[in-house]
Amino acid sequence: MRRRLPRRVNVYLTRLLNPPPVARPVAPPVPPELVEQARASRPPVPDTPTRLYVAPANFAGQGWLWARAVERQLTGVGAVTMVGIPSGFRFSSDHHVPDQVYLRSAEWQSEQFEYVRQGFTHALIEAQRPMFGSLFSSNAFTEARVLTGYGLRVATIAHGRDVRLPSLHRENYPWSPYLPEEWAEVDVLERQVRRNLAGLASLDLPTFVSTPDLLDDLPDATWCPVVIDPALWETPEPPLERPRPVAVHAPTSSKFKGSDQVDEAMTDLHERGLIEYQRIQGVSPEEVRRIIGSADLVLDQFRLGSYGATACEAMAAGRVVLGHVAEHNRRRVHEAAGDELPVVETTVENIREVVLELLEDRGRAQKIAAQGPGFVRRLHDGSYSATTLSSFLTEN
């Protein structure tokens, strides 16, 4: 039939039906100086009987803080942390590796694998992310099997979105942010999390979680609380002494913290002259510490039903902390700490009302704030977390 068509039409149809292959963009080679920099900055292997390697997420500096905690608390344990770094603020880590090197340098990846395989007795994989970039097809579960095959003891620790199943979270938490109508990528995340949960189930290795709500998704895991240094956050001045208190909200992710509702309620109170509202984002950790330490009220998160490092930092500073922590997560905290969590229960629906109540009864608010530093020392200064990790680390 096409023989009857004009030549120009046939040429067009041929091109349409047989398009030329699209050339995929080729990533530029990793600059050799970056590879050498990562190689030269690689820390020495600890000279201890138990040697722990922690990588590669280090969210909020937690990998490094867990490593220092086990070194302080457990005899004969040394640890090294590694994190791949994009641009932006860097939390403390023993080894900062540029993302180009971590993700794309086969030379560095192979060397790093040998460094861990030959030098360490234990490995803690963070957030189901690969420790060696693309060396094992970017698959943390394959890495775990390979390292286990070489005799290392391997465990994983979940940070949050890597294992928090959106569909389950929607069932358990009325203000869940995992709503398809609010977030188009929820279905993609659901599939990713299901793959991670299946991968963890296939490993049958020790599994830890950093926040109590993640026990919903991994009921057989062990809670290893986030760690902060309470001494860095100590503040001598009590909160709510000034006529117009300062209220601070420092979201790392606005969608997950309920920041829109916080802004609406706090802006209203700010404009009425009842508080001074500060929303901080994109500032250095040192600046966050200064701002929180000078605040009266710290509004944490209101949609996930749990609490994390920011709430701990504010409690350590003796500030009045507001947030939504679901009742079953409060029970988990009480079982671990032996005390009630000193976070004033607040939801996205009553932020304004709770703040007004606290301003009316400042004495009650100050008593709650005063419980914060002791609570943090009991559960979040690293000693509890090191004890939690000890069962894994004492098996050789």
Tokens of 149: 């095959």
Fold type of domain 230-380: Rossmann fold (3.40.50)
Predicted confidence (pLDDT) per residue in 151-197, tens digit = 999 999 999 999 999 999 999 999 999 999 888 899 999 999 999 99
Annotated domain spans of the chain? 32-227+384-393, 230-380
Predicted confidence (pLDDT) per residue in 192-210, tens digit = 999 999 999 999 999 999 9
Name residue 365's amino acid. Answer: A
What is the C-alpha to C-alpha distance for residues 226 and 211, in angstroms, rounded to an integer?
7
Q: Does domain 32-227+384-393 have CATH number 3.40.50?
A: yes
What is the C-alpha to C-alpha distance for residues 203 and 128, in angstroms, rounded to an integer?
12
Would you say residue 11 has pLDDT above 50?
Answer: no
Looking at the whole model, is its pTM more than 0.75?
yes
Q: What are phi and psi of 46, to 5 degrees?
A: -60, 145
Predicted confidence (pLDDT) per residue in 297-318, tens digit = 999 999 999 999 999 999 999 9
Strand (E) or helix (H) holding 383: helix 383-393
Confidence of residue 19 (pLDDT cuts 50, 70, 90): low
What is the average per-residue pLDDT within 370-388?
A: 98
Tokens of 259: 């920041």
Whether residue 235 contacts residue 293, with contact meaning beta carbons closer than 8 Å, is answered with: yes
Same fold, 32-227+384-393 and 230-380: yes
Q: Which residues contact 146 (CB under 8 A, 6 or more apart)?
A: 136
Counting residues of the chain whose pLDDT is more than 90, the rounded percentage is 85
Cross-sheet strand order for the sheet of 320-323 = 276-279, 246-249, 297-299, 320-323, 344-345
* pLDDT at residue 7 in the model: 57
Tokens of 189: 């995340």
